[in-house]
Structure 1
Amino acid sequence: MKKSLLAVVIPAVMLAGCGGGSDSDAGPNPDEKGAVTIQVIDGYLSNAEVCVDRNRNQACDAGELLAKRTDTKGQTSLSAEDRQYPLIARIIAGETSDNDQPDVVWQDTEFYAEAGSLFLSPFTTMAHLNQQTMLDFAASLNLDSSLLTQDYVALAATNPEAEKIHLYARSIMKMLGSTLAANNTETQKVQVQELKAFIQNLVNQNVDLGTVDLSVDAQGTVTRSARFTDLAGYLESRTLYTTFLNTFEYQPRKNIFENGTIHDPATGFTSEYEVTGLKLKSDLLHTNFLYVDDAVALSFMTPDRDQNTNAYNLLSVWSERDVASGDNTYLTADDFVGQTWYHLRDLASIRDGRAAASKPAFTEIRFGTEGQIEIQPRGEAAFDASWTIVPKNELPNPNNPPYMQIIRIPYGDIALRESLAGAKGMVLQTLFHHQDIVIAKEMMNIRFDEGEVDAASIVLLTRNKALAEAIYQAWQQ
């Protein structure tokens, strides 16, 4: 969990005194009224908010928000009188788009830039958090400081140094907190140094940095993945397993994407596919993607509506690994205590069979200390319950995968609810974990009119509220 760095606001005069003042960007082009164009950049961040921090409290307050959000180049206009103040950019989960990604971003983030800056970026933010000038921050990474205050995204195609800076930017972006106060500079210092060493090694190996994405965890471990900026780039030349949040579609399907065709080895069927935005269409399937990450993607799949007028809307999980068969999920109580997780399931799959229209159910689960929990189905009153987490295997054993957890949540004496599948509690066996997403098999004892039946269904849990809400809304369409 990220710790608060800015619980005590540092006056601007102190920041300036210790090297935190701005490095003015060269060559502003004011209009006839003195307004200038500013840019919010990691890649180009469009539909981001920008605030003028007139009271210098490092927060967006009433009256400080600019009227216009950023455009497709991450740009908006700043008046001449507001150039004397620091700036804050708010990247909003589910709303702001990044041209480094297929669609919107799914994590809130805040950038900061000192007064006079024309750019708000991960670099201006890290320099501010560490009370450094941009010159000093660039020197710490052996980067050309002049390029940090230019449009390095545009320059990257022809300038190797700008390409390296762009890789740094999209990697550091993932380290930043949801707010300025939610940054842990000590953790970030470790992450940045490990990132620096890793990137230098890539340079020494003559790796094309434009084809690489990097993530650094809190311990400083760097993970490399292939870079993609659109759905077509994500799919092509991959083999992906598709798992449905549906009892009767428990077995995953294997899809091989190659040279514009999709192949299902189980049936031997092959057809061409086409991608438009986040929509994938072939003779095998129609699906609209909502979330795309290198490790996991989420989409809503329907049969071809021309062939089946009773098309249903299945929430589908895509991964290079067969998540339904289990993966190594090293979750502990610390991943839950004091946190809120959002649980999404398809009630139709449990009761009505695979041909029925989906009935998404949304449950908010607020974990207290181990043993205390609050359950709140969407639109209903919350109730208290208990919970425990136990490993399926006592110790991780790389020679005996998978290593999974069981989360038990008995509901106690509450009346059975349709929103909770008519079950007496949750028994969740974790199958897959990536960042804020967990895929689990939920084992339930369900009460039907004719009696009780044991059932299992694939469910999704996430700590990302914006993503959970977007999934639930799209699922109901």
Structure 2
Amino acid sequence: MRKSLLSVVVAATILSGCGGSDSDNDDGKNLDGKVTVQVIDGYLSNAEVCVDKNSNFVCDTGEALSDRTNDTGKVTLSASDSQYPLIARIIAGETSDTDHPGFVWQDAELYAPAGQTILTPFSTLAYLNAQSLADYAASLNLDASLLSQDYVALKSSNPDAKKVHLYARTMHAMLGETLSDNNLEEQKIWIQNLKNKIQELDNNQVDFDAVTLSLNKDNGQFTQSDRVKGIQPFLEGNGGMKFLEWLNASIDIPHNLTFTDGKITDSSIGYIQVGTDYQVSGTSVTLASQPETKIDFVYVSPDIALGYVYSDPSKKFLTFWQSKDDYLNGRTDLVQEDFTGQIWYLLRDAAGPEAKEEEPPVPELNELVFLSDTHVSINPMGSDADEAEWSFTSDPNETFQTLTIQFSNNNSMILDTDVSKAGVTLLKQQIVDDNPQNILMTQNKALAKALHKHWQ
């Protein structure tokens, strides 16, 4: 049940008069009288900060600062603006987080009451739950002083800061897209489960900085995986061999590349030879092949990555990357309830199987609204919607599952799922008398739109 924002505002206002403002934290004042504020779970750059002058928990027109946060999540505001609450808007596909490579793919808002200069998941949830930051820290058995400082920078000198950072980057996924979207009662259950999970890691002496905890919102539990801190660890991990599956219709077979300490040590791509040097810069990789090849990654998780391979910027190949083990042994575990009542986004190259490799792709993005167990509305971006029948079948003896969409003109789209991880599903569309074509589906609208935009 969602808690009324009005009740939270009233309760928190009462608290602020009796020690709830955490006046012991650094006010961040510069010599020129301006105030530096920081937006952080990891450092959140290119986040929009708003001065909530009417205290309505909304970033209204005219309240956003002209500058966005820098590489360490910092931005300055006038001393007069610092007397108001602050809202930081984390924008999917635009804001970056140093906790992982690439962009953040979930909209969220962070909040800090007037007088606080660091906006975090802690400051947000403490205020929404009408608690002081100190009391909220105590509920998690955390050092309250760390929650009002740059705990990322403090990790090198204070081991407890690693635990604070793990809490923060995991709690980010619990936040609503706006402040009013936070489900406080549900979040309390998730946070208690997170507290138990982190205690388990602590008992087993796990390095908090080396793991990622992912929330399953259906059951409230957390799964543990190795933390991906950059493109290079992803490429070189698990033996370094990565399999690429291409969404461009002109390429119908997967390829593999092995990345080892700056050199390609195995390749099934003819013009990228063994011994080719590569360099990693941010979320891009440059290979010294002939012609020179670039890879721009948009999305990276512990299991999969999505990126564009190209020598000519006008012709990009959208590729799905995974390890050799996942490629050889992958299977999906979707169920019909993953579709019924849900919205998915389907991305494909509409050039068709007759497309030649030298031809540019024809990116097509469709919104699929699964209206019931039998009917789906298909909304091509920029075109009229159509309705079709659909079905989902799963054979426990097979590694794939089949989604069939039957159109009224007797045409059908048969999609066999290949792998489904990290919120992204790779499917193969069965094309009669020809090779199957890779299709991508995700429920993340921001990711789908960004992939479509950059594939043009």
TM-score after normalising by structure 1: 0.84
- Partner Cα separation in structure 1 for residue 351 and residue 247 of structure 2: 10
1:388 aligns with 2:391: yes
User: 1:471 is matched with which residue?
Assistant: 451
User: 1:417 is matched with which residue?
Assistant: none
Counterpart AA for 2:300:
V
1:278 aligns with 2:270: no
User: 1:171 is matched with which residue?
Assistant: 170
Q: 1:440 to 1:292 in 2, by over 3 A?
A: same
- Whether the 8 Å CA contact 1:349–1:358 is kept in 2: the answer is no
User: 2:426 is matched with which residue?
Assistant: 439
SS in 2 for 1:228: coil
Deviation at 1:49, TM superposition (A): 0.9
Q: Which moved more, 1:54-63 or 1:467-476?
A: 54-63
User: Which structure 2 residues correspond to residues 90-109 of structure 1 after superposition, within 5 A?
Assistant: 90-109=89-108
User: 2:254 is matched with which residue?
Assistant: 252
- Whether the 8 Å CA contact 1:214–1:222 is kept in 2: the answer is yes
Deviation at 1:112, TM superposition (A): 1.5
Q: Which moved more, 1:154-163 or 1:348-357?
A: 348-357
- Whether the 8 Å CA contact 1:243–1:318 is kept in 2: the answer is yes
User: 2:203 is matched with which residue?
Assistant: 204
Matching residue within 408, 412, 428 for 1:425: 412
Q: 1:194 to 1:330 in 2, by over 3 A?
A: same
Counterpart AA for 1:229:
K
User: 1:14 is matched with which residue?
Assistant: 11
Q: 1:6 to 1:104 in 2, by over 3 A?
A: same
User: 2:221 is matched with which residue?
Assistant: 221
Counterpart AA for 2:420:
H
Q: Which moved more, 1:218-227 or 1:139-148?
A: 218-227
Deviation at 1:391, TM superposition (A): 2.2
Matching residue within 297, 301, 312 for 1:293: 301
Counterpart AA for 2:12:
L
Counterpart AA for 1:221:
Q
SS in 2 for 1:173: helix
Deviation at 1:280, TM superposition (A): 2.0
- Partner Cα separation in structure 1 for residue 445 and residue 374 of structure 2: 23
Matching residue within 399, 402, 408 for 1:406: 402
Matching residue within 243, 246, 270 for 2:245: 243
- Whether the 8 Å CA contact 1:241–1:322 is kept in 2: the answer is no
Q: 1:258 to 1:58 in 2, by over 3 A?
A: same
Q: 1:95 to 1:18 in 2, by over 3 A?
A: same
- Whether the 8 Å CA contact 1:39–1:120 is kept in 2: the answer is yes
Q: Deviations over 1:129-186 (max 9, x none)?
A: 3322211211122110001000111111221111221121111112222222333333
Q: 1:180 to 1:328 in 2, by over 3 A?
A: farther
User: 1:160 is matched with which residue?
Assistant: 159
- Partner Cα separation in structure 2 for residue 212 and residue 255 of structure 1: 26
User: 1:264 is matched with which residue?
Assistant: 266
SS in 2 for 1:171: helix
User: Which structure 2 residues correspond to residues 138-157 of structure 1 after superposition, within 5 A?
Assistant: 138-157=137-156
Q: Which moved more, 1:174-183 or 1:148-157?
A: 174-183
Q: 1:14 to 1:175 in 2, by over 3 A?
A: closer
SS in 2 for 1:390: strand
Long gaps (5+) in structure 2: none
- Partner Cα separation in structure 2 for residue 7 and residue 326 of structure 1: 47
User: 1:418 is matched with which residue?
Assistant: none
- Whether the 8 Å CA contact 2:5–2:180 is kept in 1: the answer is no
Tell me the matched-pair count: 445
Deviation at 1:474, TM superposition (A): 1.4
User: 2:46 is matched with which residue?
Assistant: 47
Q: 1:8 to 1:276 in 2, by over 3 A?
A: closer
Counterpart AA for 2:2:
L
1:365 aligns with 2:391: no
SS in 2 for 1:235: helix
The alignment's C-alpha RMSD in Å is 2.8
Q: 1:175 to 1:239 in 2, by over 3 A?
A: farther
SS in 1 for 2:197: helix
Q: 1:319 to 1:184 in 2, by over 3 A?
A: farther
User: Which structure 2 residues correspond to residues 335-346 of structure 1 after superposition, within 5 A?
Assistant: 335-346=338-349
Long gaps (5+) in structure 1: 394-399, 415-423, 446-452
SS in 1 for 2:276: strand
SS in 2 for 1:319: strand
Matching residue within 335, 347, 351 for 1:348: 351
SS in 1 for 2:409: coil
SS in 1 for 2:149: coil
User: 2:317 is matched with which residue?
Assistant: 314
- Partner Cα separation in structure 2 for residue 265 and residue 11 of structure 1: 58
- Partner Cα separation in structure 1 for residue 29 and residue 256 of structure 2: 55
User: 1:420 is matched with which residue?
Assistant: none
User: 1:448 is matched with which residue?
Assistant: none
Q: Which moved more, 1:274-283 or 1:91-100?
A: 274-283
User: 1:137 is matched with which residue?
Assistant: 136
Matching residue within 334, 337, 341 for 2:337: 334
Q: 1:473 to 1:171 in 2, by over 3 A?
A: same
Deviation at 1:8, TM superposition (A): 4.9
User: 1:396 is matched with which residue?
Assistant: none
SS in 2 for 1:42: coil
- Whether the 8 Å CA contact 1:21–1:114 is kept in 2: the answer is no
Counterpart AA for 1:45:
L
SS in 1 for 2:452: helix
Q: 1:74 to 1:272 in 2, by over 3 A?
A: same
SS in 1 for 2:55: coil
- Partner Cα separation in structure 1 for residue 414 and residue 178 of structure 2: 34
